Structure 1
């Protein structure tokens, strides 16, 4: 009998095979590959070449532009850094944690199928789990198993230390340059910009920020009891009050601008994924963007 992680992976593989491979004609499988730095040869420059690879000494000597060619290293190490804090469990059903899990498993499957190594870091304030990078489908299943395990209930009272999560990622991945996917809602303590910038300087970083639409626009549900998922603080609010809705909308705008500015300072262009988006559309967009950037 198939396990829960195996059933999840089979379902995602079916969806990826039917919709993703056809839409980008199989090119996705080679998008996230390594790039070596070993010089092998020279050849004449063409308009499609990267001007940074022009050998100016040879160009000056032959009076014709030449570019350096390098041996491509097809092996890649990818890491999935997944925020498992209380705020990620907001939404229920296809909530933030569920979306992050499906995206992480899908990406691990797509990266690993080319013979690349994939590892994972699952983080919350009080506990973290590290899955060392390995190759193969069994490794993807192991990561899926860890992601589907319930996060430890550490109680309330503390917001997520995002800086600590990113420092842990930097320490764990320090051995070689890697592709690092960071999954988080970025709800937590300030001060994460510098650790993210340092991680981005060492690796190729893709930030996937997962958001529930209710966090961006408060639904009109009348009088309700709301609870901060991070601290456990509860408050009775009238969601139909126009003054309250106006204040909350202003706070959301300020928070979104602050997050965008922090990402800009860190040199990262994040992916903004909402829980009501189609997962395959997100993956196709990421693949196409990454393919253009890495060529």
Structure 2
């Protein structure tokens, strides 16, 4: 199917992962260029990164759209004739898990970065931000199957261990297709305590992942972190180019100079985008889209803004507008 088919990147595209810098170098660079900036910009918004499950009553306020109906205080509602909900002090001692899709389609990138590089940088930044505030992070890694489980831990060394596991692993061969439902089912079996789960994937997968994702979302706080590349949405006029199925290796030549072909490709891509976003919305998860040609700081800030609006924290701003056509946070 075309959903597993991607243009072969040009020679100027990102180098193979074997030539990527060491994990210490990657983390140090991100600490100076991204994490320090985010620490200053997030300030009091840090608690929007993780949703706790504390039971200490902090306040009462009027019910608003997206509030959890289980938090309605019916006694106060009956007395004031206006629906009110309880606001709790959240437990920040929660674990975050990264469910990492590292299947062959994630190795694609039409520009300077591949989707796998974006995934690595996102995990490095979020894991370091969370562990710096005393939380623990763990991970499940999926290639041809779920082959690595990293239990939750804290501290910089643990983050380096996680990044090393992501970078220093053999690339999966022809897998016959990504089965994302296997990763989600493994997470349901491994992650017993309520946690925040980041599902980092391009969601180019065989069908059947929607139901287990929704089941996870009913038990945990789930964020779908979707990786994408601009060329997956709109093919430029590059003449005759090879198109390769990222997971079976099958190739064919297409003429991108044909305007009709490019229009059909864009129409099918737009249809898949709409179906994917509807499926994520039905699963009840927040969605963060990360494009290979956009800025990670802007992405994380937009994510925290979405979380802030969802939880109706004081100081929440207006609805967030996308900074580009390819990267935005979708409710």
| Distance in 2 (alpha carbons) for counterparts of 1:51 and 1:120 | 28
TM-score (norm 1): 0.86
In structure 2, what is the equivalent of residue 169 of structure 1? 187
Q: Secondary structure at the match of 1:197?
A: helix
**Is it true that 1:121 corresponds to 2:140 in the alignment?**
yes
In structure 2, what is the equivalent of residue 256 of structure 1? 273
Q: Secondary structure at the match of 1:164?
A: helix
**Is it true that 1:131 corresponds to 2:150 in the alignment?**
yes
Gaps of 5+ in 2: 1-20, 314-331
| Distance in 2 (alpha carbons) for counterparts of 1:163 and 1:239 | 34
Gaps of 5+ in 1: none
* Alignment partner of 2:290 out of 264, 268, 273: 273
Structure 2 vs 1, CA of residues 182 and 69 (structure 1 numbering), >3 Å: closer, same or farther? closer
How well do the aligned residues superpose, as a CA RMSD in angstroms?
Answer: 2.9
**Is it true that 1:13 corresponds to 2:62 in the alignment?**
no
- How many residues were matched structurally? 288
Structure 2 vs 1, CA of residues 189 and 4 (structure 1 numbering), >3 Å: closer, same or farther? same
| Distance in 1 (alpha carbons) for counterparts of 2:231 and 2:140 | 27
Q: Kindly name which structure, 1 or 2, has the bigger radius of gyration based on alpha carbons.
A: 1
Structure 2 vs 1, CA of residues 84 and 40 (structure 1 numbering), >3 Å: closer, same or farther? closer
**Is it true that 1:158 corresponds to 2:176 in the alignment?**
yes
In structure 2, what is the equivalent of residue 228 of structure 1? 245
Residue 291 of structure 1, CA deviation: 3.3
Residue 9 of structure 1, CA deviation: 1.1
Structure 2 vs 1, CA of residues 37 and 16 (structure 1 numbering), >3 Å: closer, same or farther? same
| Distance in 2 (alpha carbons) for counterparts of 1:31 and 1:194 | 26
TM-score (norm 2): 0.77
In structure 2, what is the equivalent of residue 179 of structure 1? 196
Q: Secondary structure at the match of 2:139?
A: strand
* CA contact 2:145–2:182 (8 Å) conserved in 1: no
* CA contact 2:61–2:87 (8 Å) conserved in 1: no
* Alignment partner of 1:146 out of 150, 162, 165: 165
Residues 129-178 of structure 1, C-alpha deviations (whole Å, 9 max, x = no match): 1110011111111111111113443x3250100111111122121x1110
Residue 127 of structure 1, CA deviation: 4.9
| Distance in 1 (alpha carbons) for counterparts of 2:33 and 2:113 | 17
